[in-house]
Amino acid sequence: MVMRIGDRNCKKTGCAQYRAKLLPMRTLLLALLPVVAYAADFTVGSATARSGEKATGFIAVPAGVDAATDIPVIVIQGARPGPVLALVAGSHGTEYASIVALQKLAQQADPKELSGTLIVVPLVNVASFREKVPHLNPVDGRNMNRFYPGKPDGTQTERASFAIAKQVVEKCDYLVDLHGGDLDENLRRYSYWARTGAESLDAASRAMVLAFGLDHIILQDFRAPVAPGGAITLTRYASSLGKPCVTAEAGHAGTVDADDVDALIRGCWNLARHLKMLPGNAPPVQHPVWISRVSVITLRFGGHDDRLRDGLFRSQDPRRRGAGGRRGPVHRRGAIAEERRYHRPHRRDRLAVKTAWVLFGLFCCAAQQQEPVARFGTTVVRSAGFRGEIYLLHRGTKRLPNFHRMHSKGTIYTTRLDVPPTNFTAGFPGVTGRFEWFAIDYNGRFWIQEPGLYGFSLLSDDGSMLYIDGQVVIDNDGIHGPNLEYGHVRLKSGLHQIRVSYFQGPRMQVALVLSIARPGTEYRVFNADEFLPPPER
């Protein structure tokens, strides 16, 4: 006779004996469940790693309103069970120190020594890395650390953010977002700790930022909801899902300094030890400087202030001296963090800095005594391409002028507008000794063979406007640093008028790059020689 638990016809003693025999087997099965579960493959994108293995692949971002992209990913699954830690870098593709740090970390990682899983995403913004564009994704002109959780049908940045949200953030238990000092940034190593109002989450992320080991920590406030259309960073989104996370920055001016790279790698390994993913301890940083208020300070060329200190600035507002209106445990009187990160070197380098300023001044004086480099065009007449009329502007001009009321000071010609952000001393041809407060109004014609929806991008420092057939396609006007804007226009087959108006305000940088995307292709610099009418037969 076969007895079944719950069978009303079985005897109590028989059922009891059956349960006694079943209990050890059930206990064994329950003990084996974690082992069986952990033996399963771990997949992110096209990278699938088994227990004790490392795998590489890509997170595919399919084409949509613009081009597709593939984001590299490495999955390292340890030999023993443990948490899933995501390490992300390269949201800004020219912050090289953070990108190199995760590449090296992935090479160093030994899955046999690891408990748990590492998801390593060393380069989110592939187009920025490839085209050397700071801050933004040149495909759609957006910051790739502002649009989480993204949209599956948005621009490339939104679609990439959606893919990372699904493939990385939702699959991890903890997250680290690394940055590394963009092309126009010179910063002291520091990290961020965000308060969300959730006590256990805040405690976990605070322990993580202390274990990471950087001694300057900026406080963020994630307690207030983001306004509609407001920026949502990777860590803010991860925090909203209850994932403890850390942001860390080390690097400067697009360089790869070994000390910066080592600091980021060491911080990630410290976190792995703190989370018991690796053997050993990760003592928290001692006596950190907590920075509760962030201010913006703009430094213009023409001098420097000896009161500035590396990494921190002292307020000269007498109302901010003494206690300085400090919030939280700020450890320096009146100290504030400078968001744009134009920081001074250490005191021991003070002499070198002063010498560099002198040499730079001499260089500028020498540059003003010779003809500038022909970056915006040449005075050699060309029958095709752009014809640019040069105008001088009054100091303090804030927007493009009305050129019809002005007199041109010279004419230049070019087939392409391709001046990436560069030092203002490059100047422009046609007006000797002029480096700022000028404008160029370019006009030309181009031929479209294949009709369709064409994309244009315009990068400039300062203002610029793009017109096609007399209609505004891109408005990038105003005084600003290098800024990239996009526009689309449907073009018929045939000849079209094109106009690009540009002005350079105060010195420091110049930039003017016009790009085009044919239907179904990626953006490339607009070259008038590629849009010539077909030869007459």
Q: pLDDT (tens digit, 9 = 90+) per residue, 131-150?
A: 888 889 989 889 999 999 99
Question: Average per-residue pLDDT in the chain?
Answer: 79
What SS3 string covers 84-141?
EEEEECCCCCCCHHHHHHHHHHHHHCCHHHCEEEEEEECCCCHHHHHHCCCCCECCCC
Which tens digit of pLDDT belongs to each residue from 367-390?
Answer: 333 333 445 666 555 556 899 999
**What would the mean pLDDT of 504-532 be, rounded to a whole number?**
86
* Matching fold, domains 43-290 and 386-530: no
**What would the mean pLDDT of 274-298 be, rounded to a whole number?**
86
Sheet of 494-504: strand order equals 410-414, 386-392, 438-448, 494-504, 464-468, 471-476
Which tens digit of pLDDT belongs to each residue from 48-88?
Answer: 999 999 999 999 999 999 999 999 999 999 999 999 999 99
Q: What is the pLDDT of residue 474?
A: 95
| H/E run at residue 55 | strand 53-61
* pTM of the shown model: 0.56
* Phi, psi (rounded to 5 degrees) for 434: -105, 125
Q: Which CATH class is domain 43-290?
A: alpha beta
Higher pLDDT, 1 or 432: 432
CB 455 within 8 A of CB 65: no
Rounded distance between C-alpha atoms, residue 90 and residue 69, angstroms: 14
Residue for token pair 């018991």: 276
Q: What is the pLDDT of residue 288?
A: 92
Burial class (CB in 10 A: 0-12, 13-18, 19+), 332: middle
Give the residue from 120, 282, 279 showing the smallest Cα distance to 212: 282
Q: What is the pLDDT of residue 347?
A: 39
The full DSSP string for 320-355 is GSTTTT--S---STTEEEETT-B----GGGHHHHHH
DSSP category for residue 482: S
Which tens digit of pLDDT belongs to each residue from 197-210?
Answer: 999 999 999 999 99
Residue for token pair 């495909």: 139
Burial class (CB in 10 A: 0-12, 13-18, 19+), 439: buried
Give the residue from 490, 455, 452 showing the smallest Cα distance to 469: 490
Give the start-to-end residue ranges of the domains of the chain: 1-38, 43-290, 292-367, 386-530
Chain-centroid distance of CA 4 in Å reads 63
Rounded distance between C-alpha atoms, residue 154 and residue 66, angstroms: 9
Sheet of 335-338: strand order equals 294-295, 335-338, 313-314
Q: How far is CA 446 from CA 174, 284, 414, in A?
A: 52, 62, 13
Rounded distance between C-alpha atoms, residue 474 and residue 466, angstroms: 5
CATH fold for domain 386-530: Jelly Rolls (2.60.120)
71 bridge partner residues: 59
Rounded distance between C-alpha atoms, residue 481 and residue 479, angstroms: 7
Give the orientation angle of helix 96-108 with respect to helix 258-274, to 10 degrees.
50
